[in-house]
A and B are shown apart, each in its own frame.
Chain A
Amino acid sequence: MIILFKIHSFLKRKWYIPVTFFGFFLYLIFFNALFPGFLNSFTNELEETSASISRVRALGCLTTSVYYGETLFSYSDLFKEQTEASYQLAYDSIRLHFHREFAEIQTDSLDSLPPGKRKKYQRGIERFKKRKRKEFFTHPENREMVKNFSTLADETGFPAKGPDYDVFLDFVLDVPYDSFNYHFPEVIPQLTRKLKPPKKDLVYIGRGWVRAGFDLKPVPDSAWFPDSLGAIHLPQLRTYLLADINPWFIPELEIPGFEVLRYDAGRMARRRFTFREVTRIKMGCKRKLVRMALKKGLLLNARNNAEEVLLSFLQTLGNQGGDTVVSVHIPFPDTTSIGWIDSLMKK
């Protein structure tokens, strides 16, 4: 009784506390926070639209190895890749710009001039070069970039130090980007680290497969006949590589191909992602999957297995008026040219 009396007196004095709590409770229900799907439950529904065949293409691809894998890719990874690419672009554009300017001057052969005039010409060229450099470095964007590069001089051993643009320019003109990145591997990562990280993040997990094999279409008929030792050589075979991450990885087991691991659209969801950004993150997953597959030795496995498959296939078919096949030889796939794989992904 005493307890009930105490509660009653408490409520009489401070009635606003339970009322506030009740109000807050209603608020949570209304905004789907407490019981999601009670007042509003949203689902996405597709309209019935037909599917139609838009193109038929004849192939002759023999897939001999498949890699199944899982990768993670985030918006910040994409951001890093983009900034690195933009630095490379800036570096190359400086090289291109100045090389063109200077190449035009040097086409004039100074040797054919009399010595007095030659000196005058040379001085003119020097002045021209100076002016061009000044023009370039007065542009605020270029100035910013050089400043970025030169602040790292002490940490990374990069020779351009302080506001001495000439040293920087000489270095850039002498060294192409690839060897610059090789000799000073810390410069670009340091520069990207100094930038502000994006205030939103989206991390995708991607499950898919990479298929590798050979295109049999360009092989001429004569190549299928063995030589006197019973060996078939197929140097014409073109390597074939395809990566796929679909919305569903295994639909029967309800395992999705793409799954959001982390989604942060900034405070009050003010920095939402565009469709294009989401697609680019997904494509990043695919690129990473290809790299993982190549590291695991997909191409080599595909080549070794293709030799076995083709040998047993040709032996079971037999050939009319030729020797029996003893071995099939396929050259090792060129793993050094990864560039074409990237171009494949960006189709």
Chain B
Amino acid sequence: MAQVKTNENIEIKPGHPHNRWLLELSLRKIALLLLFSCSCARQPLPLLSQLKDTAQLSTVEISISKLIVARQVNSGLLVQLGMKKSVDLRKTFLANSEAQVEVGIELDRIDPENIKVEGEVISLLLPPVKVLNFSYPPENFVVDSTFTEGFQKGWPSPMDLDDIYQQAEMSIRHYINHLGIKEIAESQTRIFMEELLHGLNYKEVFIEFEASEQLIFANNPTKTKQEDQ
């Protein structure tokens, strides 16, 4: 019979190089513990890298422009004691930005019961218009270099820049309901559907929308199609 060598014969002492992984493991555990104890505020990431089927008909693209003026504000102890100013007016970040919002309807939400055909007359009750895509791409930020001396004095760093752009996006999202986008989108959707239905030989077309108070953002990667409905 062939002898089978087992690892039991090898003695592993605490300081032995074979045993170093034990030490590493414990260090790793401590590091993980520290990490998780610090990062409780962050939500777990949704499922990414996936294809999702949709049926979104965007009928209008609206560009929203916004001027970004950002400053670095200090609120530390030196400012509280009056030894330093809270805002350094020499450091100003100025940029022009443009967001593109696509608005339209979701075709799979059209209820067949809401379509009434009488001869050559058709009346439709369409689902409410939604923001189908919100785009605030990095190439649409044009930094005004005459005002902004940044990157030479360390502000804004790329991390600060991201923070500023995130705040700008939130303020645009906040404004969306006050810009009259819903009305523009409804009229454009009406024009598009009327053209399409005239093409299908309907002489008279009546279109109405389901009542909704605010514009809703349609895309959410965390939700499945069933949850959306």
Contacts and interface: CB of A to CB of B under 8 A. Distances in A.
A55 interface: yes
A40 B133 CA distance: 40
B55 A309 contact: yes
B222 A250 contact: yes
A49 B64 contact: no
Contact of B110 (A59, A313, A320): A313
A260 B74 CA distance: 23
A312 B137 CA distance: 34
Given A39-B78, A321-B201, A66 B160 contact: no
Chain A's interface size range is 35 or more
A192 interface: no
B171 A51 contact: yes
B59 A250 contact: no
Contacts of A247: 136, 162, 165-166, 168-169
A267 B43 CA distance: 34
A321 B120 CA distance: 9
B125 interface: no
Interface string B181-222: 100100010011000111111100000000000000001111
Given A43-B75, A56-B62, A68-B50, A316 B112 contact: yes
Contact of B139 (A70, A209, A279): A279
A43 B159 CA distance: 12
Chain B's interface size range is 35 or more
B195 to A, nearest CB: 8
Contacts of B200: 221, 224-225, 317-320, 322
Given A224-B199, A244-B135, A317-B200, A275 B166 contact: no
B53 A260 contact: no
Interface stretch (A15-23, A131-139, A296-304): A296-304
A74 interface: no
A320 B202 contact: yes
Interface in B81-132: 84, 98, 102, 104, 107-108, 110, 112, 115, 117, 120, 122, 132
B25 interface: no
Given A316-B115, A322-B201, A298 B61 contact: no
B157 A263 contact: yes
Contacts of A248: 166, 169-170
A52 B97 CA distance: 11
A318 B172 contact: no
A279 B55 contact: no
Contact of B158 (A53, A55, A224, A278): A278
Contacts of B198: 221
24 contacts: A42-B72, A46-B70, A46-B171, A55-B63, A56-B60, A61-B58, A62-B56, A63-B133, A64-B54, A65-B51, A221-B200, A242-B133, A244-B135, A247-B168, A251-B173, A254-B43, A258-B165, A272-B157, A273-B158, A279-B138, A283-B139, A305-B53, A320-B202, A322-B201
